[in-house]
Amino acid sequence: MQTKEYPVNKISHGQTLQDFIVAKRNISRKAAKNLMDRRKVFVNGKRVWMAKHNLKTGDIVSILLSPGESTRTRKQKIPIVWEDSNYLIVNKPANVLSVGKGSLENRLQQQCENPQLRAVHRLDRDTTGCLIIAKSENAFQAMLPLFRERSISKTYHAIVHGFMKKGEHRISKPLEGQTAVSHVRVLDSVDNAAHVAVKIETGRTHQIRIHLASFNHPVMGDPKYAGDVEKKAGVLPIPRQMLHARTLVFTHPTTGNVLRTEAPLPADFRACLKSFKLT
């Protein structure tokens, strides 16, 4: 029998024990509940079997695992937000590339048993949310003019460092010699953090992350643009950048209908909001 220990950081504060185990072990909720039912889960050395037990920063969750369980995790299915005969729109998880070896694109090809599936655009490895997947080459090509003509409305949610006065802000800062414009709307703010919605006119590489950092409000957990800020502020490590592609709005290239899709905020994003008392 092997014991695995998982410290609870600020981001996981308030999370239920079941959800915490699901995230750390990358297993189903049923499998997590099974571990608790078998009395294999401990919090700070005390056995806990209540799925809704709320964790606190500094707690240590210990799990007794058999040799098979110690290495057994599963790749969860990519959640599909919307689908028709030409496209899928999925809620991309964190820590996975959009395209390339072992990417979301590859996993969807296997999941849907369709080797023609192809990502129409990309999100950073640790950015979650709406991603459009074409089911055929014709469908892929039909989407390209929408991106070239900037006729797809994309809104992201982010959790950023620092207080921001409620309202809207326009950031226009060229990136790599090209025009880049972001519109930032403050949804909620406290002394040291803010929850914002960002609508982008252009889609330059790292645009939102660079723009918010240049505005002195870098995205929390961003290893490239927020590291110095988090070190100076003494912020506990945040596992990934808190950036989520929340909505997509566009005219379907085949049907002509206006389509609006929305990807729910992931659990770690919601936990981060809660830890900073943001809505």
Residue 252, pLDDT > 70, answer: yes
Whether 212 and 250 map to the same domain: the answer is yes
Averaged pLDDT for residues 186-197 = 96
DSSP of 143-165:
HHHHHHTT-SEEEEEEEEES---
Burial class of residue 22, CB neighbours in 10 A (0-12, 13-18, 19+): buried
Whether 127 and 212 map to the same domain: the answer is yes
Q: What is the C-alpha separation between 208 and 156, in angstroms, rounded?
A: 9
Q: What is the C-alpha separation between 230 and 236, in angstroms, rounded?
A: 8
Whether 46 and 135 map to the same domain: the answer is no
Q: What is the C-alpha separation between 57 and 34, in angstroms, rounded?
A: 24
**The pair of three-digit structure tokens given for residue 209, joined into one six-digit string:** 């992350």
Residue that is last in its domain, among 71, 89, 124: 71
Greatest C-alpha distance within the chain:
59
Instruction: Assign residue 49 the CATH number of its domain.
Output: 3.10.290.10
Q: What is the C-alpha separation between 50 and 192, in angstroms, rounded?
A: 33
Tell me: the pLDDT tens digits for 47-96? Answer: 999 999 999 999 999 999 876 665 544 567 899 999 999 999 999 999 89
Whether 28 and 133 map to the same domain: the answer is no
Whether 214 and 106 map to the same domain: the answer is yes
Instruction: Assign residue 261 the CATH number of its domain.
Output: 3.30.2350.10
Identify which of 244, 220, 221, 279 has the alpha carbon closest to the alpha carbon of residue 154.
244
Q: What is the C-alpha separation between 184 and 179, in angstroms, rounded?
A: 17
Whether 92 and 150 map to the same domain: the answer is yes
Range of the domain at 246: 80-275
Residues whose CB is less than 8 angstroms from the CB of residue 69 and which lie 6 or more positions away in sequence, other chains included = none
pLDDT at residue 88 in the model: 97
Strand partners, 171: 182
pTM score of the predicted model: 0.75
24-33, 124-133, 174-183, 199-208: segment of lowest average pLDDT: 24-33
pLDDT at residue 234 in the model: 56
Point out the catalytic residue in the list 19, 59, 124, 222. Answer: 124
Q: What is the C-alpha separation between 82 and 110, in angstroms, rounded?
A: 18
Whether 47 and 157 map to the same domain: the answer is no
Number of H helices, E strands in the chain: 8, 14
Q: Strand, coil or helix: what is 21?
A: helix
Tell me: the pLDDT tens digits for 3-45? Answer: 899 999 887 889 999 989 988 887 888 889 999 998 899 999 9
Whether 87 and 64 map to the same domain: the answer is no
Identify which of 154, 140, 121 has the alpha carbon closest to the alpha carbon of residue 248.
154
Q: How many domains does the chain contain in total? A: 2
Whether 183 and 66 map to the same domain: the answer is no
**The pair of three-digit structure tokens given for residue 100, joined into one six-digit string:** 């390339």
Q: Is 124 a catalytic residue?
A: yes
Average pLDDT, the chain: 91
pLDDT at residue 238 in the model: 77
Averaged pLDDT for residues 138-159 = 96
Residue type, 47: R
Rg (CA), the chain: 20
Residue 126, pLDDT > 90, answer: yes
Whether 10 and 117 map to the same domain: the answer is no
Tell me: the pLDDT tens digits for 205-242? Answer: 999 999 999 999 999 989 888 877 666 655 656 778 99
Residues whose CB is less than 8 angstroms from the CB of residue 78 and which lie 6 or more positions away in sequence, other chains included = 90, 91, 92, 93, 104, 107, 108, 111
Identify which of 70, 121, 137, 116 has the alpha carbon closest to the alpha carbon of residue 248.
121
Whether 95 and 229 map to the same domain: the answer is yes
Residue that is last in its domain, among 22, 38, 71: 71
pLDDT at residue 231 in the model: 61
pLDDT at residue 29 in the model: 85
Whether 152 and 60 map to the same domain: the answer is no
pLDDT at residue 223 in the model: 85
C-beta atoms surrounding 202 within 10 Å: 14
pLDDT at residue 208 in the model: 97
Using an 8 Å Cβ cutoff, are 195 and 187 in contact?
Answer: yes
**The pair of three-digit structure tokens given for residue 151, joined into one six-digit string:** 């006729």
pLDDT at residue 27 in the model: 82
pLDDT at residue 70 in the model: 54
